[in-house]
A and B are shown apart, each in its own frame.
Chain A
């Protein structure tokens, strides 16, 4: 048994495999989002309804970008042994995820009124924001798990793959929104 395994850590080789596996998973997820985005353009071209709440769309975009910064800070802090900084930033990320989801709920309430799911734009809007919202929820739950383990003293420099994995997934959720936001709100 390697020293790394005995300590409960991943060896360099295992860590590299884990990273590659996560990236492959992210690529497959990107393909799924790409299909939904392509369907929007195929069904509607570049048209969009005037009733979209542009301010809310921009606001939740800012919230998600900020959550990527806090997620980055959390990973960087634990990599350098700063546990309080790690815990604080993970918690901020989860809170910002909650704010984003509240924003999506508000969007949905307005959307049901102006462009219900039975309309062509509504189909794209609700399927894209719903798919993305589920990813935000799962990412937030992952980060919450990381936070709870971190509070119990898990992770440290050289032993933080679960943090890195959850944070990478969170950044992917942000990247997906980078394309969804202009697709739903700006094009047209």
Chain B
């Protein structure tokens, strides 16, 4: 086990979670902006990209060594 590497990855997860929380807060306000549907779609796609890349490791499909 490499504790330093594990701690680094756990910190990365915390940062991604923080970004998701911020985007959810922005979403709350964006619902009141003009063109809300567009803004909410863009934010949802952004959250999906974060989860797919950092939590689901989407890129493993093309780079299996990751």
Contacts and interface: CB of A to CB of B under 8 A. Distances in A.
Interface of A: 12, 15-16, 19-20, 23, 46, 58, 61-62, 65-66, 68-69, 71-73, 76-77, 80-82, 157, 168, 171-172, 174-175, 178-179, 181-182, 186-187
Given A82-B6, A182-B40, A187-B37, A62 B17 contact: no
B55 A72 contact: yes
Given A186-B27, A187-B36, A171 B55 contact: yes
B27 A182 contact: yes
Interface of B: 1-3, 5-6, 9-10, 13-14, 16-17, 20-21, 24, 27-28, 30-31, 36-37, 40, 43-44, 47-48, 51-52, 54-56, 58, 60-61, 64
Given A23-B61, A179-B44, A65 B36 contact: no
A58 B48 CA distance: 17
Tell me what chain A mostly uses at the interface: helix, strand, loop, or mixed: helix
Contacts, number: 84
B48 A178 contact: yes
Tell me what chain B mostly uses at the interface: helix, strand, loop, or mixed: helix
A160 B24 CA distance: 31
Given A65-B17, A80-B2, A178-B51, A19 B44 contact: no
Given A62-B24, A76-B13, A186-B36, A171 B2 contact: no
A187 B40 contact: yes
6 contacts: A65-B17, A68-B55, A73-B13, A171-B55, A175-B52, A178-B44
B5 to A, nearest CB: 7
B61 to A, nearest CB: 6
Contacts of A179: 44, 48
A69 B18 CA distance: 10
Contact of B17 (A66, A77, A171): A66
Contacts of A72: 13, 16, 54-55
